[in-house]
Structure 1
Amino acid sequence: MEINFTGKRAVVTGASQGIGRELVKKLASLGAKVFALARNKDLLVSLKQEVPSIEIYPVDLSKWSDTENALKQVGDVDLLINNAGLAVLGPLTEVSENDVDRIFSINVKAVINITKYVVKNLLSRNVPGSIVNISSQASVTGLIDHTVYCASKGAVDAFTRATAAEYGPHGIRINNVNPTVIMTDMGRLGWSDPQVANPMLAKIPLRRFGEVDEVVNSVIFLLSDLSSMTTGSNVYVDGGFVSV
């Protein structure tokens, strides 16, 4: 079956760079009308130059009402990818209240806010939809210096299960993609030191980190009718990290 999103309206958060940016390009190439949300206006403008068919919305997703206003401008949504995320790493003993607020405002609060809008929109139109949340292997395994990040992604997984159960009867499917380290520009920078990378690689049976397109392909599958019987699930793009 060939995937085609012609006639579908898709929102991608954290769309200005990395996984989100490539998701926007892929969705547009498959026929979707894409609405790209991110904080960095300059990067969004450059993305629109690459993909003129998209619409861009510079917005700070940690601000509840600003996000709602942007979504009202977007209008109807059939597909949602909650990709925006934030990590502040370090030992628990050095975590500040501001760190917790910043991480949870993007990784959890924004996901809840945007999903709420899209679900209400789908229900009002009495149509099915598909939502994919970008979680992490950190949601189900402990990582050193990741305490608050792990907690936030665990919350995403729990939220996904609960919403999938609640809105599955309405034909709304909600799933997670849970990547390991992915070789975005930031990923390559952060994991370029062998002393940092090698201990993590030793825990990954495939002995490598993931590529952006490997996450994108899993998201596209979950958004499409190829996964029509899949909801409330975690799809691990982690080379086997959490399975062994």
Structure 2
Amino acid sequence: MSNSKTILITGAGSGLGEGTAIGLAQLNYKVIAGVQILPQVTALRKKVAELGLENNIEVIKLNILDKYDVKVALKYDIDILFNNAGIGESGPVFEMPLDIVRDNFETNVFAPLELTQQFVARWITAKKQGKVIFTSSVVGLFTQVGLGAYASSKHALEAIAESLAEELKPYNIKIQTINPGAYFTGFNETMAETAFRWLDDKKNITKRADLKAGFDAFFSSSYSKLDPAEMIDAMIKIIPSDTGKFRNAVPQLVEDMLKGVQLKSWENTI
């Protein structure tokens, strides 16, 4: 795909999404950067202007759960859809309120699938080549204690992406996933705080101090602080490319870890 292609990115208001939008624009791709809330629109437009990228990035409000935002996004003629927007919820699944689990699936699975369906239908009707990339996660391929609800939504996304990849081959529409590890963008740190808004030591079996100790141990490890620049560099190569792997875990140590965990899972006992 040439640099003339237009790429729509959801969840471009911070972290890997923002970095990828800027990186692709610097490579002279046309980027529609969708952000969740209006303050992010203002902040990103300011950053785009400071970088002199106004001709390559258009910043729009795109809350993927807002039907009016989605209607605006669907007016764009794009070549690549990067479904990057997502939320994360932490806490023990056996006690987590079900409305929170449903919200996780609504944002991470149903909304990106609906947006994908609409763009794919347009491409097929127009007999146009297209590409869809989903931001999954390393926990789309294994489950970390305390992140079961988030991981299950990413597992579901993996299954949908695999199915789409086969279904859409006859129409020359490509599908990929990107599976970031624990990059130090603030997303994982914020997700770890979500359980503490509903966990109640007077009602719940899981105690707040125990859950916090588990998260603190993880965030004190070097694995939890991977440099996001490494992931962004990989993403700006993966997203516009005509070729590549279906699943993309970065760096290599993360891919190796995932393969080891998946192999070991066959030896798990109850």
Alignment check: 8 A CA contact 2:90 2:191 kept: no
1:127 corresponds in structure 2 to 128
Seen in structure 2, the aligned counterparts of structure 1 residues 182 and 21 have a Cα distance that, compared at 3 Å, is same
Q: Greater CA deviation, 76-85 or 233-242? A: 233-242
The corresponding residue for 1:228 is 243
What TM-score do you get using the length of structure 2 for normalisation? 0.76
1:124 to partner: Cα distance: 2.8
Pair 69,99 (structure 1): closer, same or farther in 2 beyond 3 Å: same
Name the counterpart of 2:59: 56
Structure 1 segment 35-50 matched on structure 2, within 5 A: 35-50=32-47
**Residues 135 and 153 of structure 1 are in contact (CA less than 8 Å); yes or no, is this contact kept in structure 2?**
yes
Q: Secondary structure at the match of 2:178?
A: strand
| Higher Rg | 2
Secondary structure at the aligned position of 2:168 is classed as helix
Amino acid at match of 1:242: L
1:237 is aligned to 2:234: no
CA contact (8 A) 2:135 2:179 kept: yes
Partner of 1:68: 70
Question: How big is each residue's C-alpha offset from its partner over 1:15-39, in whole Å with a ceiling of 9 and x where there is no partner?
Answer: 1101111111011111121111121
Structure 2 counterpart SS, 1:43: helix
3-state SS of paired residue (2:59) = strand
Alignment-mate amino acid for residue 48 of structure 1? R
Quote how far apart the aligned CAs of 1:86 are: 0.5
How far does the alpha carbon of each residue in 1:88-132 deviate from its partner, in whole angstroms, 9 at most, with x for none? 100113211220221111100111012112212322332222221
Change in Cα spacing, 1:163 to 1:31, as seen in structure 2 (3 Å) is same
CA contact (8 A) 1:10 1:80 kept: yes
Percent identity for Structure 1 against Structure 2: 22
Task: Please list every run of 5 or more consecutive structure 1 residues that lacks an aligned counterpart in the other structure.
Answer: none
Deviation at 1:58, TM superposition (A): 1.4
Counterparts of 1:85 and 1:68 in 2: how far apart (Å)? Answer: 15
Quote how far apart the aligned CAs of 1:140 are.
Answer: 1.4
8 A Cα contact 2:61 2:69, kept in partner: no
Q: Secondary structure at the match of 1:92?
A: coil
**Deviations, residues 199-236 of structure 1 (Å, cap 9, x unaligned):** 5787xxx95643222222332332233x5254xx2211
